[in-house]
Amino acid sequence: MFRIGQGFDVHEFAEGRPLILGGITIPHERGLLGHSDADVLLHTVTDAALGAIGEGDIGRHFPDTDPEWKDADSAKLLSYIWKMVEERGYKLGNVDCTIMAQRPKMAPYIEPMRNRIAELLNADSSQVNVKATTTEKLGFVGREEGIASMATILLVKA
């Protein structure tokens, strides 16, 4: 038995914040704004997993009005949701993610992100793919106002 889910998220750039994507801190002059650590990539994986098990979205489980999730480590949020996935008897088939960022260049950080996501999902890194694309300087991503991400996940009955 299979379940499929997708996630999409956007966070805007802000001064004085670290840039954290896929659980990895990436050297850049600005980070992303959010109630949590604003790890837009992990948020899309979390939303994809929630979608696949029919459990709504990240904001329903971790409201951005709740001080408990202020500056939260998104890896911890994903781990919590992944436990729900496993309790329902599913494991990862594969997950495919796309980061939309004009800058910085993600290529050097793709493998570390992939490995960290695999670790969080109790899976092998071959089951995780992370891609990056610019938007050719078009739109809010192209103007470097923020970063967008999307993910598609396939769960398999364990």
Ligand X SMILES: C[C@@]1(CO)OP(=O)(O)OP(=O)(O)OC[C@H]1O
Ligand Y SMILES: Nc1ccn([C@@H]2O[C@H](COP(=O)(O)O)[C@@H](O)[C@H]2O)c(=O)n1
Question: Residue 126 carries which DSSP code?
Answer: G
Name the residues that contact ligand X, by CB under 6 A: 9, 34-36, 38, 43, 58-59, 62-64, 69, 72
All residues at 6 or more sequence positions from 74 whose CB lies less than 8 Å from its CB, including other chains: 20, 23, 36, 37, 38, 39, 42, 43, 46
- In sequence order, the 6+-apart residues with CB closer than 8 A to the CB of 16 are 30, 31
118 neighbors 91 (Cβ within 8 angstroms): no
Annotated binding site for a divalent metal cation: 9, 11, 43
State the binding partner of 147 from ligand X, ligand Y, none, CB within 5 to 8 A by kind. Answer: none
Q: Confirm or reject binding of residue 132 to ligand Y (CB under 6 A).
A: yes
When CB distances to ligand X are compared, the closest residue is 34
Q: Is residue 113 a contact residue for ligand Y (CB under 6 A)?
A: no
Q: Which does 133 bind (CB under 5 to 8 A by kind): ligand Y, ligand X, none?
A: ligand Y
Binding ligand Y by CB under 6 A: which of 56, 70, 71, 105? 105
Closest CA to 45 of 157, 158, 149: 149
- Nearest approach, Cβ of 128 to ligand X (angstroms)? 20
Binding site for ligand Y (CB under 6 A): 101, 105-107, 132-134
